[in-house]
Chain A
Amino acid sequence: MATVVAVIASTHHPFFYKASTATGADRPPFADEWVSKITAFRETLTRANPDVLVMVGSDHFHQLWLDNMPQFLVGKAPFYDANWYNEEREFGMPKMLLKGHEELSAHILREGIDRNFDLAFSNELRIDHSITCPIITLRPEADLPIVPIYTNIFAPPMPRPKRFVDLGEAIREIVESWPSHLRVAIIGTGHLSLELGGPRQFGPHGPDPEFDLRAVDWIANGDIESCLAEVTLDSLHAPGNATHGFMDFMLMMGVAGAGAKADHVDSLDLFHTREAYFTWYPNGVNA
């Protein structure tokens, strides 16, 4: 069976690409520290030596729209073009082309549906920065095949937080039941507290630094119970109007497993939002 060699949860910050490649007067003062932390984070994936990446993210109203909105969608395509005109325009994101892994996509779809997750699928999916940001930070060679999984953290009505945790647990089991010799890393990105288009946006820190510290603690310690006791669809409005992206972190806590302490934990307080990076080695660092 396939081996889950790493589980990785991260924020996805579309400004990293531009900040990390800027030089001279254009380079922001926080860029060097940010690059240093990302370099250490990248090493946690590199040392796991994966063959294929399952990538959990959320489309930002690019291909998925309100006339036809899936809650959870799995890409099943041989290739994925990536990044959109408005991401190039606003963030300077590069156009990319990633390989798919259709066999693993098919396995996740079949097993997921049989476990009562009515997963939508797409045979032609152009992915956005929720998935390309971690490619850029963790695997800039962009050389490994991926299986993209999109969640709806953007357009109400959304699934409740527990559903995200449950799907994460299912994804872990499904990947581990895949009859393959390949080494799989499961990577997902979300947000801590975040405000977009509201009065608290682009402040000197994230909109709710106290929430962010509690959230980092829940994730680092695999404390799903405390997290679920506090976090609801309604409660997530309070830390910031885009904080429902935290549910993708909750999904990744489900992948890592209840009580699983992360092997790598790092964080960076930036303007607008706190960055956070977590890696687990479910089968040991030398699996």
Chain B
Amino acid sequence: MSKYLLDKFLYLIDRDPELVERYREDPQGTVTWWEAERANAVLNCHSGEASTWLRFTDEERTALATHDHVKLFELGAHPFLTLTLFIAMFERDHAEPLAYQLAFAARLQHFEMPYPDIAT
């Protein structure tokens, strides 16, 4: 389990408008590139510094590469990060206000309390 890395991906894609579009259009390629080139960057340090050990599990990588927000919820990705990024990518495809947010919720209806643990 690397919930932290799932969250780091969602967080860093969400804050970059170009990456939001790239992830929307090419999720598989963006996840592959990001894991190879960005996953180990130590934030708030100069570009020469990096960690050496961060990688997704196969299940996590597939969930991200298929835009599977239900699986991300199950894996304990932070729901605020998932929601924010997925609204940015897909709300535009829905004509009615809140239609995407409500469909997002409907796809999670089978989860009961307690929800998957989001502690990192």
Contacts and interface: CB of A to CB of B under 8 A. Distances in A.
A199 B81 CA distance: 15
Contacts of A61: 11, 78, 80-81
Interface residues on A, range: 20 to 34
Interface in B79-104: 79-84, 87-88, 98, 101-102, 104
Given A157-B119, A197-B83, A199-B108, 9 more contacts: A60-B80, A62-B15, A154-B80, A198-B115, A200-B105, A237-B113, A237-B114, A237-B115, A241-B115
A interface SS class:
loop
Main DSSP-derived SS at the B contact region: helix
A162 to B, nearest CB: 20
Interface of A: 60-62, 65-68, 84-86, 89-90, 154-157, 196-203, 237-238, 241-242, 271
Interface residues of B, number: 36
Contacts, number: 77
Contact of A197 (B80, B113, B120): B80
B73 A197 contact: yes
Interface of B: 4, 7-8, 11, 14-15, 17, 42-44, 73, 78-84, 87-88, 98, 101-102, 104-106, 108-111, 113-115, 118-120
B35 to A, nearest CB: 17
Contacts of B120: 66, 155-156
